Amino acid sequence: MFPNSFMFGASLSGFQFEMGNPNDPSELDTQTDWFVWVRDLENLLNGIVSGDLPESGAGYWKSYEKIHQLAVDFGMDTLRIGIEWSRIFPSSTREIPFGEGMLEKLDSIANKDAVEHYRKIMEDMKSKGLKVFVNLNHFTLPLWLHDPLAVRKGKPTDKLGWVSDDAPVEFAKYAEYIAWKFGDIVDYWSSMNEPHVVAQLGYFQILAGFPPSYFNPEWYIKSLRNEATAHNLTYDAIKRHTDKPVGVIYSFTWYDTLKPNNSEIFENAMWLANWNFMDQVKDKVDYIGVNYYTRAMIDKLPKPIEIQDFELNWYVVRGYGYACQEGGFALSGRPASEFGWEIYPEGLYYLLKAIYERYNKPLIVTENGIADQNDKYRAQVLISHLYAVEKAMNEGVDVRGYLHWSIVDNYEWAKGYSKRFGLAYTDFEKKLYIPRPSMYVFREIAKTRSIDQFKGYDPYGLMKF
């Protein structure tokens, strides 16, 4: 049983959900690195991006009322949304010094239409009884701060994204401006989503199609550190305008070792992927947002690799976790999603325990879900991951809510529209949101605040832990 205060809801982001009409300039988010990235010739010709374009998407910018109603109809009490930095500040804020008088100056160059539109969205949420959970950054950066095409080609530029020395303070300006504008209406604040993913796929594992796909281990470390600094500045900035909870959303990965109990590589991997960033921000979070999809299976590297002052001593074993065949099965026998991600709910349980033990902060599951166009596995994913949450809660972990990724289908970055995470199937052409069968299971759970009625049926053996 989940307590009445436990939030059931879904998470969205800006870039992946907002746009829906390529012919309506008022809703296009053109001043952001990803907007440029997904239409670059090099990316297109090499299949680095899908060719799908974000402006043909779910259309939340215009259809937010429908999607809010859908959430309410299916038992949700919270929605997490994103604000797009580049919508608010399409041109540079670098000229405006941080500090006294900054907010007014920012206001003079901010895009007021965007500010007002976001307020309408939030007011509609409030009017329908939904809690407003706002995340300030979800991968995308304004073009004036990040020119990924120049970076990739090694051209001289000061638009280095999170590698730029001034990126943290620029972010803090934006964040404080938003807090100043929306401090009265937002219930939960998050500075950013999955900072480690941005750094890792941008500068280290460069074949995932993330900008700038420029291998540079130093920058991997540096961008992550700048993101931490940005968060810490942001925490204080927001707190100057509201006393609502402020946190960060992080994609945690659980690590299993191929040879059992190989604690040497386990600790090394957990530190690099999870604790390295979180330790840097742990004093500036009121809660921790936990995104969880699957684990990684690792084994020892014969020869460790030096990355600046860090010694990487492991590598990822194919056939488990994120490294399975799309739509196939993991070597563990568990099914893999259409993204090739093993369904592995115990990883969420292990992580909730480990994170809570290390930081002793309230936790919110801010993302969890599956790319599953045909809804073959989604109901079992829901049930088994809530089983993991419940189990952790029964053992004392303070989990405050579960936000599914996502309520409707969305634009999955370099993969475009081929990976469908929605509880509701989305007809992108007609902007229809049709609940998949699993969404009725979500409703049943949210209404009864319980998964007990599902527990005896576990066709994939996902609740045997």
Phi/psi of residue 149, each to 5°?
-70, -40
Closer to its own copies at the Cβ: 74 or 182?
74
Q: Which two tokens stand for residue 416?
A: 């475009």
| 3-state class (DSSP) for residue 13 | coil
List 315's β-bridge partners, or say none. 299
Closer to its own copies at the Cβ: 89 or 417?
417
CB of 2 to its own copies, least distance (A): 18
Closer to its own copies at the Cβ: 179 or 324?
324
Candidate segments 110-118, 170-178, 345-353, 438-446, binder of its own copies by CB under 8 A: 438-446
Alpha helix (H) residue ranges in 100-166: 102-109, 112-127, 148-152
Distance from C-alpha of 313 to C-alpha of 324, rounded to nearest angstrom: 22
Number of other CB atoms surrounding residue 175 within 10 Å: 27
Closer to its own copies at the Cβ: 39 or 240?
39
Q: Which two tokens stand for residue 431?
A: 């902007």
CB of 457 to its own copies, least distance (A): 4
Among 367, 390, 395, 429, the one annotated catalytic: 367
294 dihedral zone (left: phi>0; alpha: psi -120 to 50; beta) = beta
Residues 114-173 that bind its own copies (CB under 8 A): 152-155
CB of 365 to its own copies, least distance (A): 20
CB of 448 to its own copies, least distance (A): 11
CB-based contact 356:285 (threshold 8 Å): no
All residues at 6 or more sequence positions from 379 whose CB lies less than 8 Å from its CB, including other chains: 437, 438, 441
Candidate segments 22-30, 185-193, 202-210, 291-299, binder of its own copies by CB under 8 A: 202-210
Long-range contacts: 372-375, Cβ < 8 Å, 24+?
Answer: 372/337, 372/338, 372/420, 372/421, 373/338, 373/420, 375/425, 375/436, 375/437, 375/438
C-alpha angle 412-416-418 in degrees, rounded to nearest 5: 90
Among 125, 234, 454, 463, contact with its own copies (rule: CB under 8 A): 454
Among 164, 190, 384, 438, contact with its own copies (rule: CB under 8 A): 438
CB of 434 to its own copies, least distance (A): 4
Residues 86-115 that bind its own copies (CB under 8 A): none
Among 97, 218, 434, 447, contact with its own copies (rule: CB under 8 A): 434
Is residue 367 part of the annotated active site? The answer reads: yes
| 3-state class (DSSP) for residue 65 | helix
Candidate segments 12-20, 179-187, 278-286, 437-445, binder of its own copies by CB under 8 A: 437-445
What is the contact mask toward its own copies in residues 288 to 327, using x (rule: CB under 8 A)? Answer: -----------------x----------------------
Distances (CA, A) of 409 to 305, 333, 417: 39, 27, 8
Number of residues lying near its own copies (CB under 8 A): 44
459 in contact with its own copies (CB under 8 A): yes
Among 54, 96, 436, 463, contact with its own copies (rule: CB under 8 A): 436
Distance from C-alpha of 192 to C-alpha of 18, rounded to nearest angstrom: 18
All residues at 6 or more sequence positions from 425 whose CB lies less than 8 Å from its CB, including other chains: 375, 409, 433, 434, 435, 436
Q: Strands of 324-383 (E only): list them.
A: 363-367
Q: What is the DSSP string of 386-448?
A: HHHHHHHHHTT--EEEEEES-SB----GGGGGGS---SEEEETTTTEEEE-HHHHHHHHHHHH
Among 437, 447, 448, 449, contact with its own copies (rule: CB under 8 A): 437
Residues 33-62 that bind its own copies (CB under 8 A): 41-42, 45-48
CB of 245 to its own copies, least distance (A): 34
What is the contact mask toward its own copies in residues 205 to 224, using x (rule: CB under 8 A)? Answer: xxx------xx-x-------
Among all residues, which ones are annotated catalytic? 367
**Which residues contribute to the site for its own copies (CB under 8 A)?**
41-42, 45-48, 152-155, 204-207, 214-215, 217, 305, 373-377, 379-380, 425, 427, 430, 432, 434-438, 440-441, 444, 453-457, 459-460
